[in-house]
Amino acid sequence: MSAPKGWRLFERGPTNDEESDEFPPEKRLEASNTRLIKAGIATIPDMETLQECVAYENAHQNRTQILRRLKWKAEELREDEK
pLDDT digits (tens, 9 = 90+) for 59-77: 999 999 999 999 999 999 9
What is the average pLDDT across 37-47? 96
**Side chain identity, residue 54:** V
- 44 and 73 in contact (C-beta within 8 Å)? yes
0.85 exceeded by pTM: no
CA distances from 2 to 11, 29, 50, 55 (A): 12, 36, 36, 43
Task: Convert 1-40 to b/e letters by CB count within 10 Å (16 or more is b).
Answer: eeeeeeeeeeeeeeeeeeebeebebeebbeeeeeeebeeb
Give the residue, 8 or 52, on which the prediction is more confident: 52
- Residue-averaged pLDDT of the chain: 84
